[in-house]
């Protein structure tokens, strides 16, 4: 199977890599002061958000569609409307994810590819003026 015919899920390393990346993402959000604003949007516990992001990314990358099976269509923008998301929150989310991917050992070329997609979605999620 060539790299081009493999899903992103397979290329990234499947469930273990996505789980490690998402866990690191939320660890960084919890621990690093530079993500304080982003952390404040999430409420007292990150457990639910962690599980939902893992489930979403699994299906989004071409693996098991765990999120849709459990919660229906992602409707990302609608589901994020209750949370104030501006440029700062977007940028913190992207920085936190970039750091998590680097710490997880994801290949540089793949990180760039993912960050381009993540930026498009994160920018679209903004729902408050700056």
Residue 101 counted as domain residue = yes
pLDDT digits (tens, 9 = 90+) for 33-85: 999 999 999 989 999 999 999 999 999 999 999 999 999 888 888 888 888 89
Residue 2 counted as domain residue = no
CATH code for the domain in which residue 103 is found = 1.10.490.10
CA distance 39 to 19: 19
Residue 23 counted as domain residue = yes
**Burial of 58 (C-beta count, 10 Å sphere; 0-12/13-18/19+):** buried
CA distance 38 to 22: 15
pLDDT at 76: 85
Cα of 52 vs its chain's centroid, Å? 10
Residue count (the chain): 130
Containing structural domain, residue 90: 8-125
Residue 3 counted as domain residue = no
Residue 71 counted as domain residue = yes
pLDDT digits (tens, 9 = 90+) for 64-74: 999 999 998 88
Residue 1 counted as domain residue = no
Residue 130 counted as domain residue = no
Instruction: Please give the tally of structural domains in the chain.
Output: 1
Average pLDDT score over residue span 105-122: 96
């Amino acid at each position: 199977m060539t790299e081009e015919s493999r899903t992103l899920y397979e290329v990234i390393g499947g469930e273990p890599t996505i789980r490690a990346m998402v866990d690191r993402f939320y660890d960084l959000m919890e621990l690093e002061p530079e993500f304080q604003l982003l952390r404040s949007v999430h409420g007292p516990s990150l457990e639910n958000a962690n599980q939902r992001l893992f489930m979403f990314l699994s299906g989004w990358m071409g693996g098991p569609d765990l999120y849709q099976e459990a919660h229906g269509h992602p409707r990302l923008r609608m589901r994020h409307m209750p949370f104030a998301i501006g440029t700062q929150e977007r940028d913190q989310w992207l920085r936190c994810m970039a750091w998590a991917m680097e710490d997880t050992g994801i290949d540089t070329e793949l990180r760039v590819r993912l960050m381009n997609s993540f930026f498009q979605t994160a920018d679209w999620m903004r729902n408050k003026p700056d």
